[in-house]
Amino acid sequence: MSEQAEMLKVIVFSLLDEEYGIPVSQVRSIEKVQHITRVPRTAPFVKGVINLRGVVTPIIDLRTRFAMPETAYKDSTRIIIVATEDVEVGLIVDTANDVMDIPVDTIEPPPEIVGSVEIEYLEGVAKLDKRLLILLNLDRVLNPDIVKEKIKG
């Protein structure tokens, strides 16, 4: 019997027709877009906060965070609630497509330039048949010190 390849389970979502993945272990839930209360003096990518089951959760628009053109929210727009260290944040994405197991040995270091997402935010790129899946490094995307500082004003 051959050993099973080590797998990484990710949530696949899209931004501007590109597919991205974040580890399921960091995802708390996927929600439909709801009313977001604006918070004064925050970074442009911090859209505000929502009350999610009694917990005030900051919301970040990943398109704005990655300097992509903004678009109106649609029925397919989702908020992915993620946790890293002691920060829980919602990420607005165009769609949340599916859950996927990726063989760890198919993940390559990110190339110098991948679309409009800065390389510092990337964990790697996985080649899956004809798909390319860009894996985000949430610790760097969220940078908890900066996010906390911006939210607390």
Distance of CA 69 to the CA centre of its chain: 16
What is the reported pLDDT for 142? 81
In the prediction, which pLDDT does 89 show? Answer: 95
pLDDT computed for residue 3 by the predictor: 55
pLDDT reported for residue 2: 44
Distance in angstroms (rounded) separating the CA atoms of residues 33 and 65? 17
The pLDDT value given to residue 120: 76
Residue 70 φ then ψ, to 5°:
-80, 155
Q: How far apart (Å, rounded) are the C-alpha atoms in residues 123 and 137?
A: 5
Structure tokens that stand for 51 in this block: 């009350």
Q: What is the mean pLDDT of each run of 10 residues along the chain (153 residues)?
A: 75 94 95 95 92 93 91 95 88 94 89 63 87 89 57 47
Main-chain phi, psi angles of 56, to 5 degrees: -75, 120
At 130 the pLDDT is 85
Residue 118: predicted pLDDT:
66
Q: How far apart are CA 90 and CA 78, in angstroms?
A: 9
Question: Can you give the pLDDT at residue 115?
Answer: 54
pTM for this model (two decimals): 0.86
